[in-house]
Amino acid sequence: EPEVTQTPSHQVTQMGQEVILRCVPISNHLYFYWYRQILGQKVEFLVSFYNNEISEKSEIFDDQFSVERPDGSNFTLKIRSTKLEDSAMYFCASRPQGPDTQYFGPGTRLTVL
């Protein structure tokens, strides 16, 4: 069964560094999302992406964050200058046209030191 994949599974970085988290959504899906989960807290929406543009973003998704679909398969989340509070599990999700079920990847654990 097709799955959403994410790389790396764990990323450790120094505060102030740029990180890029990568996702490969399911191939025929058209809607893409990023969520994050700080340890012990709720899963929070960051951004949704459709037709090569952001369709919605949360207040968390400030100028330090950006998303891109550089080719037909990858979907990336970039954090330009990481802060300690960016440490979290980042989940990518995708869904096809029509059915509403969002399919989540296994996550990337980001640790900012």
Partner 1 sequence: KQEVTQIPAALSVPEGENLVLNCSFTDSAIYNLQWFRQDPGKGLTSLLLIQSSQREQTSGRLNASLDKSSGRSTLYIAASQPGDSATYLCAVRRLTGGGNKLTFGTGTQLKVEL
Residues that bind partner 1 (CB under 8 A): 4, 31, 33, 35, 42-45, 48, 50, 55-58, 91, 93, 95, 100-107, 109
Q: How far apart are CA 99 and CA 105, in angstroms?
A: 18
CA distances to 26, 57, 73, 111 from 42, rounded to whole Å, are 25, 17, 28, 18
Task: Tell which residue, 9, 19, 2, has the closest CA to residue 73.
Answer: 2
Work out how close the CB of 15 gets to partner 1 at its nearest, in angstroms, rounded to a whole number: 24
76 or 106: CB nearest partner 1: 106
Work out how close the CB of 108 gets to partner 1 at its nearest, in angstroms, rounded to a whole number: 10
Work out how close the CB of 16 gets to partner 1 at its nearest, in angstroms, rounded to a whole number: 27
